[in-house]
Amino acid sequence: MSEEQASKSTENNVLLIGKKPAKSYAAAAMYKMGSESSIIIKARGKAISKAVDVAEIILNKLGNGNYELGSISIGTVEVESEGQKRSISTIEIILNKK
């Protein structure tokens, strides 16, 4: 994430994807987009595909053409689990209001 994007990032516009259904996160994102000009969808590991689903639901179904894809960032983080280091993939998807 660039410094410009990091400065725009607040806790209010970050949506962390977990184990709930994709439509639940899409609804939460639409609620947040009511008061924010952009939203950052973050996920890691197995939740990455759900994050992509959430972005597509917002862009193609719920957004009515009012939102656009800002940028997509991918990366890895190293996590220590049971004494072993593991690399876990991450994704950040930024959606903006038009």
Set out the domains of the chain in order of their start, with CATH numbers. 3-97 (3.30.110.20)
CB 3 within 8 A of CB 34: no
pLDDT, tens digit (0-9, with 9 covering 90-100), for 78-90: 999 888 999 999 9
Residue 12 sits at φ, ψ, to 5 deg, of -70, -25
Angle between helices 22-33 and 48-57 (to 10 degrees): 50
- Taking only the tens place, the pLDDT of each residue in 32-48 is 888 888 999 999 999 99
Helices (H), the chain: 3-8, 22-33, 48-57
The pTM (predicted TM-score) of the whole model is 0.83
* Cα–Cα distance measured from residue 42 to residue 27, given in angstroms and rounded to the nearest whole number: 15
